[in-house]
Structure 1
Amino acid sequence: MSSKTIQWLRIAPFVAAIAVSLGVVTPSHAADNPYEKGPNPTEASVTAEKGSFAIAEAPAPSGASNKFNKGTVYYPTATDQGTFGAVAVAPGFTNPESIISWLGPRLASQGFVVITLETNTTLDLPESRGDQLLGALDWLTTQSQYKDRIDPTRTAVVGFSMGGGGALRAAEDRPALKATVGLAPWEPYSAWQKVTTPTLLIGAADDVIAPTGAHSEPFYDHLTNARDKAYLEYNFGNHFKPVEANATNTKFTLSWLKRFVDNDTRYDQFLCPGPSKSAEFQEYRNTCPLG
């Protein structure tokens, strides 16, 4: 072996490290996961109102599909990042789309195509809301002008109150969903053994509309076949606490979707082991480690 070859072998690791730091090459974990989007996450990034992607929004007008009423689509404008996962979000009983619309730009700017829904009527029950969530995803991935931006194999649902019950119904009906999030979910039915989708539930101790002891907690217990599950309960707050546009709801909803829609293990740190009981949180249960 020549002296030049030996010298190159000695300095090669340093050259590689410099190349990565300058952005000439990317770390190997990015190549291992083609779904990974955005820079390395931090506590600041997962609680932020805006992520790293520039976004646009457009209406999903009434009549676009007979499977849901209407809504708003939020999507990253980047065309050099491959396809994105898709997320449909439903509001609760008597609620307009506006109560969950904040999730649209927050999630889209982190690398998702998102549709927030105005349900057929504000009185729709969870089963109907679940059907509408799935109908919205089907429209997004097969008929909409955004379909080429979406990986149709990576979809998820999020819902508040009866919309949260609808999200669980959707997961029961479509095991191919990659993730489900229920924000103060309401649904008298609670035998969720058929759900295999990774499911996050967020409740609040002072909720008298969907009391955690009658809804979120038994839901969590009965998700016996879910690949992964987590339950976060605020130590205070009423029914609307889990749907507030706050840092905690952003952090956990985003991290759950990133972990299971994008298979991005960089977000494990925000979910496992999770917060301990405190002035803010009554409890956090999970199936860590995530897999």
Structure 2
Amino acid sequence: MEISDIFKNKKNRLDKLRRTRRKVDVEETLECKRCHGQFAKSVLKKNFMICPDCNKYFSMSAEDRIRSIADEKTFKEHLKGMYSVNPIDFLDYDKVIEKNKNRSKRDEAVITGVCKINGIKCAIAVMESQFMMGSMGTVVGERISAITEVAGKHNLPLIIFSASGGARMQEGMFSLMQMAKTSTVIEKFKENGGLFLSVYTNPTTGGVSASFAALGNILIAEPDALICFAGPRVIEQTIGEKLPEGFQHSEFLLKSGMLDMIVERQDLKETIHRILVMHNYLP
């Protein structure tokens, strides 16, 4: 081997290392939309996906949400392996599902299961905004209905974290039917004495906000979460008027009596635990 080949190989290795390093930097760094600060994803995860500089909330994955709420190694997933089909033969819907599976690393827009929160056993559902913006199709409706029935059968409190763009248009009427389905099951659960804590995260809109998310015995929201049926731009275009600042966000809704409390993300676990103890749920 000639000396020139040695230097050439070394240069190729250095170029490859730089490309790898740049790729890792891009993957692990997120920009805050408010203050435009750049933060390592690992730093944000340790801070509950909240900007360390301006306190802006980043979107939190369902997996991270469960990790922040459930006691370690207590979560057991329910109905894993139930997949969406294409009930109305919507064009390329199968491809959209596969794309979202790959992007979110989840099989659907909600994870349901049973876990412990400070030793108290609970039924829990967490919506995944990275999967088709948490839209509610038949599988989402079935999973939420099924975990509600599990909660009723075993006398467990039910906690649902909502994050959704609403009903899933690719499933047409089958998606809209989930509003009635989930609402009916949850009302039956509450009539039988069940406790349902509904936690709004940003955003909770459309058919989800107009069905099970609004039916909690106690309605909790994260700060500055958008909670509505139709978004502010749609309303402004419809009525031709400028809406009040902060309209449809948590703080506005709390003042209007539409929420019971706003809780910082890092305080949610302890707040939920206190509510459960107050309602005689014990370890």
Name the TM tier (shorter chain). 0.3 to 0.5
Larger Rg: 2
The answer to which structure, 1 or 2, has the higher relative contact order (CA under 8 A, 6+ apart) is 1
Q: Relative to total residues, which structure has the larger strand share, 1 or 2?
A: 1
Normalising by structure 1, what TM-score? 0.37
